[in-house]
Amino acid sequence: MSIEAGKIRNVAVVGHRGTGKTSLVEALLFQASKTNRLGSIEAGTTVSDWEEDEQRRQMSLSAALVNLEWEGRKINLIDTPGDSGFQADTVASLRVVEGALLVVSGVMGVEVNTARVWNRADELELSRVVFVNMLDRERADFYRVLDAVQERLSDRCIAIQLPFGAVHELTGVVDLLHNCAYMDPQGGREGDPVAIPDELVPAVEEYRTKLLDAVVETDEALMERYLGGEEIPAADIAAALKNAVTRDEIYPVGCGVATKNLGTHALLDLVVEGVPSPAKKGSPIDTDAKIAAFVFKTVADQFAGRISIFRVYAGEVRSDTTLVNHRDHSKERLGSLVSLDGKEHNKADSFGSGDLGAVAKLKDVQTGDVLVDAEHNLDPPALGFPEPVMSFAVSPKTKGDEDKVAQALRRLAEEDPTLHLRRDQQTGEELLAGMSQVHVEVAVERARRRFGVEMELHQPRVPYVETIKGQARAQGRYKKQTGGRGQFGDCVITIEPLDDHVGYEFVDKIVGGVIPQGFRPAVDKGIQESLQHGELAGAPVQGVRVTLIDGSYHNVDSSEMAFKIAGSMAFRSAYEKAEPTLLEPIMELEVTVPDETVGAINGDLNSRRGRLHGMEPKGGMTLIKAEVPMAEVLTYNQALVSLTGGRGDYHMQFLRYEEVPAHIAQKLIESAKKDKEAVPA
């Protein structure tokens, strides 16, 4: 029997890496008696970080779905990765929930990814609850972090809980809404609420008044009663708060210590009372389908095959039913449905509207597909995955394993759409692109562990190109006589640069029949083959217009092959005289860094031949825009981590080609010459 939508809460647990999201999910499961012990990151015993590489690196690398029951409600929690290199799952998870639980470090406050996920939740109009974690750490300060949250995220972030004590003296949490306190359970389950300690009464009254003021401002009827001096019951305040959170008018801020299970009772109450149910928020898919399920994540499991995790937007999804894939109209028979709890798969008969579930071994279903009962008009929710920013050349350790490598990486790309595998036509390399170096390294580790494929990563080669700056004329004359029929081809061409150094044009200006019509395309073909490897550094040539103006032929000895060779000879001769030059790709780079590191970052970009195009302050962080040659930012990730202590972030995309400075071009040309000489003839 599926659960009705009004009794479901779907919440993505999001935030910067290292803020304790996984520990908080673990504590919530424990407090709700879903688990019988409090697992830890250090011991590798948490429910949601169950992958071997997650336990070894002690960080979440993919989203994990768990669920619990609290106050008669089913709460689906999605524990998302906080590292920006693994943001695909975070982006997808935010698309299928009504609420985001934003976890913030009580020491570090608002960080790069904190602001990013907040803005994403804002775009999706999600209800948000903030939890200030790690308040038992050195330099932790709830009130300083609350100020930062209000200043940098929203002034509508209102404290709903307060800590009493601080750092090692932290002894409990006050619930301002219900006017009670919870004592530090030291890793056990939080007990029943107790009276607020006398010494905290002044602070509690101050912050409770701020909370009440914020809540009643969102409800006119409540405002009249409040201003009339009436004592408002907690139930009425809770109802008004829930409506305000649903409408994005208030973002409650709670606090605690996940590793000690402090603050979880009040937080679970807040999730039930504050985050709207699917029934209250409504469906983001506009369709008349009787059944609609949106696949937001795919897991490539070596045993169960492909597992599709979905959100039901209409009707009820049952085992052993057949649905239609809206993307390609193919039919998919659903086998056994499962409810996920980390790596545990529990059999389920059905999932109702608003619920999250999973099914294994669908034929052709991808992340982003919608399964419906029949053909319907609908627009699937846009996931909006970011483009990868870093590429590595990838090769198998064992010769002949190229197909195995490609297949394993394609399976992993189904699971993570921000992993792209492509062949660079110019360099011939297989390139694996991802969001960061760690992201790509994890993909290689997973390919080895799950699919038994060993591969190596190398820095990719920069795709330089060659072009010309001048004009030239040359003749290509090919004549070969070896007894019997000979070979003869003769052509005269001019070459000149095209605008923006892009493309290739062949213009036929032969007058009369000096070269017969049938041989002229062969000249073009010979030239195009020569364009593949320029004479400077062996890079492809582009941005050239070639005009065929004259030539001659022999009635017997001329052939297509002869004219192809003549065309190639003419082009090489003209190319040398037309001021050939080397071009390099220029990238458009956007870097977000803490304000205090801006000077160091700008200095580093200058040393990489970067051109700065402006800076935008964003509440403690600065967005720097620059143009930088690709050759200078192939390993930018390591430098950024080093200069910002891991708090910086960047995105880049190809902009245009530009001439390589002469001193650098000379080195590249000499290197290419040595490589060519080293290759045996």
198: in domain: yes
Closest alpha carbon to 323 in 290, 282, 287: 290
Under DSSP, the state recorded for 349 is S
Angstrom CA distances, 672 to 59, 571, 679, stand at 42, 20, 11
Flag whether 104 is in a domain. Answer: yes
Is 377 within the bounds of a domain?
no
Do 104 and 42 lie in one domain? The reply is yes
Here the tokens at position 460 are 């990719």
Residues 587 and 573 in one domain: no
Kindly list the distances between the CA atom of residue 45 and the CA atoms of 51, 69, 461, in Å, as whole numbers in the listed order.
11, 21, 42
**pLDDT over threshold 90, residue 105:** yes
End of a domain among 250, 281, 312?
A: 281
In a domain, 668, yes or no: no
The arithmetic mean of pLDDT across residues 583-595, rounded, is: 90
Does residue 153 sit in the same domain as residue 60? yes
* One-letter amino acid of 477: R
- Judge if 265 and 190 occupy the same domain: yes
Give the model confidence (pLDDT) of 251-296 as tens digits: 999 999 999 999 999 999 999 988 999 998 877 777 788 999 999 9
Handedness of CA 408, 414, 416, 421 (dihedral sign): positive
pLDDT at 427 over 80: no
Look up the CATH number of the domain holding residue 484: 3.30.230.10
For residue 613, give its domain range: 582-663
Look at residue 56 in the predicted model and tell me its pLDDT. 66
Distances (CA, A) of 133 to 24, 145, 172, 264, 538: 8, 10, 13, 11, 56
Give 197-249 pLDDT, tens digit per residue: 888 899 999 999 999 999 999 999 999 998 888 888 888 888 899 899 988 89
570 and 595, same domain (yes or no): no
Show the DSSP H helices in 230-324 as ranges. Answer: 234-246, 264-274, 278-281
DSSP SS3 for 225: helix
| 375-412: burial string, b at 16+ Cβ within 10 Å, e else | ebebebbebebeebbbbbbbebeeeebeebbbebbebb
Domain boundary among 520, 547, 578: 578
The mean pLDDT of 407-414, rounded to a whole number, is 84
Q: pTM of this prediction?
A: 0.78
95 near 117, Cβ under 8 Å?
Answer: no
The CATH number covering residue 202 comes to: 3.40.50.300
Same domain, 451 and 497: no
Statement to judge: residues 172 and 36 lie in one domain: yes
Residue owning tokens 């640069």: 497
| AA letter at 390 | M
Looking at residues 625-631, what average pLDDT do you find? 94
Write down the residue that tokens 């499962």 correspond to. 338
Please tell me whether residues 209 and 296 are part of one structural domain.
no
Q: Show the CA angle centred on residue 31, arms to residues 28 and 33, nearest 5°.
A: 110
> What pLDDT score does 144 carry?
95
Residue 607: CATH number of its domain = 3.30.70.240
Residues 134 and 19 placed together within one structural domain of the fold: yes
Residue 40 lies in a domain: yes
Nearest to 178 by CA among 52, 270, 102: 270
Any domain includes 614: yes
Q: Which residues contact 37 (CB under 8 A, 6 or more apart)?
A: 30, 45
Q: Does 561 share its domain with 479?
A: yes
**How do residues 334-366 score in pLDDT, each as one tens digit?**
988 999 887 788 899 999 999 999 998 888 888
Q: What is the DSSP string of 458-510?
A: EPPPP--EEEESS-EEEEEEEEE--SSS-EEEEEEEEEEEPGGG--EEEEE--
| CB-based contact 595:571 (threshold 8 Å) | no
Domain count of the fold of the chain: 5
Kindly state whether residue 486 falls inside one of the protein's structural domains: yes
pLDDT interval class at 52 (50, 70, 90)? low
Distance CA(196)–CA(502), nearest Å, equals 73
Q: Are 125 and 260 within one domain?
A: yes
**Does residue 25 belong to any structural domain of this protein?**
yes
Residue finishing a domain among 458, 475, 491: 458
Closest listed residue to residue 574, CA positions, set 675, 439, 457, 473: 473
> Are 470 and 553 in a shared domain?
yes
Task: Give me the CATH number covering residue 296.
Answer: 2.40.30.10
- pLDDT tens digits along 512-570: 889 999 999 999 999 999 998 898 988 889 999 999 999 999 988 899 999 999 999 99
